[in-house]
């Protein structure tokens, strides 16, 4: 699979670890990546507030560049914010021919809205890619309990993203499972992390982050996986601060490392911590993964498998009995012959 990558502003800043780990996995899983030529800001927070036209034009210009260079090759946006903005422009252009023409006029170049826009999880939902990844997992994260966190922009609003269920998405779980880790069921996977208030109103944001961390731990998770630089930063970076406040209140710390899902894939596929960008994490994440890799694998059999195993054992036993009987039957005969001699 080939993708036209839209890096956005986070790729080399807050999301550097995402870029590094994703590239590692892509290289080893046969995902080929082109960079969208002359891309520009997706308009994230300010574009659409300014005007609807600017909100569509900014992402559409990059999409048009991608289309000119790579035709209908899907555009990959690792950042959920970029993803959401690019998809909005795409959906608007596809929704009405009028709007598409307006957008073309705004950006002064042709844009046919042919290419799809996908997020970082999408490539791994392709069966061949998933298979390759699975085959390349050399250091499985045996039974590591992971809470997959989607945040808001990846799954909402449904009309824009068309990606998984907005209330109970399951696709990141499917991808994380490839590493041998065990995703946990939990309720806060699409709850707001307050990222937009990160700078302007941290007091409003902190309880939101605290709730997500607490929920994950309560559900039995040892780690959180994300697919968005902003979510990741917010959860990972604020954890220490939150724990300090908790300590002051006499509450136990919420100790849980936060990874990009691609970091888990990369690490399981044999990347060093530096290659997977894990050394960049605020909450140290190396030792947990190293420990998980040494765990013993317990395979839970399904009832059907158990039954099959029982039947196989019974058959084996019966065969052994038969063999013994046959041997016993043969023995006296032999004895007779012997007696004859």
Partner 1 sequence: MSRIGVFVCHCGTNIAGTVDVEAVADAARQMPNVAYAGTNKYMCSAQGQDYIVDIIKEHNLDRVVIASCSPRMHERLFRKVLAEKTDLNPYLLEVANIREQCSWVHKDKQIGTPKAINLVAMAVAKADCDTQLFTHEIPVTKRALIIGGGIAGIQAALDIADAGFPVTIVERKTTIGGKMPMLDKTFPTLDCSACISTPKMSECEAHPLIEIKTLSEVEKVEGYIGNFDVTIREKAKYIDYDKCTGCGMCETKCPQKKIPSEFNQGMSTRTAVYKPFPQAVPSKPTIDADHCRMLTEGKCGVCAKVCPTGAIDYQDVDRVTTERYGAIVLATGYELIDWTRLYGEYGGGRYADVISGLQFERLVNASGPTEGHILRPSDGTEPKTMVIVKCVGSRDPHKGVPYCSRACCMYGAKHAHQFMDKVPGGKCFVFYMDVRTPGKNYDEFYMNTLHEGARYIRGRISKITRRSDGKLVCLGEDTLSGNVVEVDADMVVLETAMVPPEGAKKLAQTVNTQLGPEGFFTEAHPKLRPVETNTGGLYLAGTAQGPKDIPDTVAQAGAAAAKVIGLLCKQSIESNPMVAHVDDSKCSGCGACVDICPYSAVTLVEKTLRENSRKVTRTVAQVNEGLCQGCGACTVACRPGASDLLGFNDEGIMREVEAYATR
Query: 3-state DSSP call for residue 183?
Result: strand
What is the rounded (10 degree) CA torsion for 6, 12, 270, 164?
-40
Instruction: Kindly state the smallest distance separating residue 99's Cβ from partner 1, in Å.
Output: 23
Q: Quick one: 72 or 185, whose CB is closer to partner 1? A: 185
Burial level of 114, CB count in 10 A (0-12/13-18/19+)?
A: middle
Q: Quick one: 122 or 215, whose CB is closer to partner 1? A: 215
Q: Quick one: 114 or 211, whose CB is closer to partner 1? A: 211
Q: Quick one: 165 or 255, whose CB is closer to partner 1? A: 165
Which two structure tokens, joined as six digits, stand for 330?
Answer: 């043969």
Instruction: Kindly state the smallest distance separating residue 131's Cβ from partner 1, in Å.
Output: 27
Burial level of 227, CB count in 10 A (0-12/13-18/19+)?
A: buried
Instruction: Kindly state the smallest distance separating residue 34's Cβ from partner 1, in Å.
Output: 35
Q: Quick one: 32 or 168, whose CB is closer to partner 1? A: 168
Q: Quick one: 71 or 187, whose CB is closer to partner 1? A: 187
Q: Quick one: 256 or 266, whose CB is closer to partner 1? A: 256
Instruction: Kindly state the smallest distance separating residue 210's Cβ from partner 1, in Å.
Output: 14
CB atoms within 10 A of CB 189: 25
Radius of gyration of the chain (CA): 27
Q: Taking a C-beta distance cutoff of 8 angstroms, is the pair 47, 9 a contact?
A: no
Percent helix / strand / coil, the chain, rounded to 5 = 55, 10, 35
Instruction: Kindly state the smallest distance separating residue 218's Cβ from partner 1, in Å.
Output: 5
Instruction: Kindly state the smallest distance separating residue 225's Cβ from partner 1, in Å.
Output: 18
Instruction: Kindly state the smallest distance separating residue 276's Cβ from partner 1, in Å.
Output: 30
Which two structure tokens, joined as six digits, stand for 139?
Answer: 């250091």
What CA–CA distances, in Å, run from 109 to 14, 90, 142?
31, 15, 51
Q: Could you list the residues that contact partner 1 (CB under 8 A)?
A: 165-169, 185-188, 191, 215, 218-220
Query: Mind giving me the DSSP string for 84-134?
Result: HHHHHHHHHHHH-HHHHHHHHHHHTS-----S-EEETTGGGGSHHHHHHHH
Q: Quick one: 115 or 184, whose CB is closer to partner 1? A: 184
d(CA 300, CA 306): 9
Which two structure tokens, joined as six digits, stand for 254?
Answer: 């919420």
Q: Quick one: 72 or 167, whose CB is closer to partner 1? A: 167
Q: Taking a C-beta distance cutoff of 8 angstroms, is the pair 185, 170 a contact?
A: no
Query: 3-state DSSP call for residue 317?
Result: helix
Instruction: Kindly state the smallest distance separating residue 190's Cβ from partner 1, in Å.
Output: 8
Instruction: Kindly state the smallest distance separating residue 201's Cβ from partner 1, in Å.
Output: 17
d(CA 149, CA 102): 37
């Amino acid at each position: 699979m080939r993708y036209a990558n839209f890096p956005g502003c986070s790729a080399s800043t807050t999301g550097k670890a995402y870029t590094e780990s994703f590239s590692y996995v892509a290289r080893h899983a046969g995902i080929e990546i082109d960079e969208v030529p002359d891309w520009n800001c997706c308009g994230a927070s300010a574009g659409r507030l300014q005007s609807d036209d600017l909100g569509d034009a900014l992402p559409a210009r990059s999409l048009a560049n991608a289309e000119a260079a790579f035709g209908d090759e899907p555009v990959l946006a690792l950042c959920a914010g970029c993803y959401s903005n690019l998809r909005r422009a795409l959906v608007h252009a596809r929704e009405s021919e009028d709007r598409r023409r307006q957008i073309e006029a705004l950006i002064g170049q042709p844009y046919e809205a042919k290419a799809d826009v996908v997020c970082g999880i999408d490539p791994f939902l392709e069966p061949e890619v998933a298979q390759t990844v699975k085959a390349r997992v050399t250091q499985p994260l045996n039974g590591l309990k992971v809470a997959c966190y989607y945040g808001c922009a990846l799954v909402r609003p449904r009309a824009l993203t068309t990606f998984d269920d907005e209330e109970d998405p399951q696709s990141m779980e499917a991808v994380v499972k490839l590493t041998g880790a065990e995703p946990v069921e939990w309720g806060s996977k699409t709850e707001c992390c307050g990222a937009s208030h990160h700078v302007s109103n941290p007091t409003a944001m902190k309880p939101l982050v605290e709730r997500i961390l607490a929920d994950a731990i309560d559900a039995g998770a040892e780690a959180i996986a994300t697919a968005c630089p902003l979510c990741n930063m917010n959860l990972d970076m604020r954890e220490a601060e939150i724990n300090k406040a908790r300590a002051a209140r006499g509450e136990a710390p919420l100790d849980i490392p936060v990874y990009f899902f691609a970091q888990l894939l990369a690490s399981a596929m044999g990347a060093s911590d530096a290659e997977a960008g894990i050394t960049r994490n605020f909450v140290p994440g190396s030792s947990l993964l190293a420990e998980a890799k040494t765990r013993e694998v317990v395979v839970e059999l399904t009832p059907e498998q158990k039954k099959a195993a029982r039947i196989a054992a019974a058959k084996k036993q019966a065969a052994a009995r038969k063999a013994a009987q046959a041997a016993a039957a043969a023995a006296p005969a032999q004895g007779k012959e012997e007696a004859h001699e």
